[in-house]
Amino acid sequence: MRALLQQISLFVAVGCAAAATHWAVAVGCVEAFHMPPLAANLIGWLVAFVVSFSGHYRLTFRHTRTPWTVAVRRFFLISAIGFVVNESAYALLLHTTAIPYDVLLALILVGLAFATFAASRLWAFRHKPAA
């Protein structure tokens, strides 16, 4: 149980760093380059993916023996599915609510974190021992 709590703590720390990166890059693209929020969200996700995978591989799931080449492909698939959900919800809510784009993005990023932890722990960084 202690190992799981430590893993969750590391996941939250890495996830917060990745989410902050995603948010800062996306908002920076909107503010500095006048990009549309949905396009800026894509750029933010791509930059945050590097932060997220690196942190999870080296910290959160460091005990696994999954080769990084396997883990990065699995994690990218999980992250890409999460991004599709993120972008879809973001597009819908940008057009149907009066919530500011930056606040809305922060809320969506927090909401997806839980599903990402479960999928990462159960699949992306799971090591199947050789038969």
> SS3 for 35?
coil
Mean pLDDT of the chain, nearest integer:
91
Domain ranges for the chain: 2-124
Q: Dihedral of CA 119/124/127/130: which sign?
A: positive
From CA 117, how far away is CA 23, in angstroms rounded? 19
What pTM value is reported for the model?
0.81
The confidence band for 23, taking pLDDT boundaries of 50, 70 and 90, is: very high
Retrieve residue 5's tokens. 């709590």
**Residue 66 pLDDT > 70:** yes
The confidence band for 28, taking pLDDT boundaries of 50, 70 and 90, is: very high
pLDDT tens-digit readout, 101-110? 999 999 998 8
**Residue 127 pLDDT > 80:** no
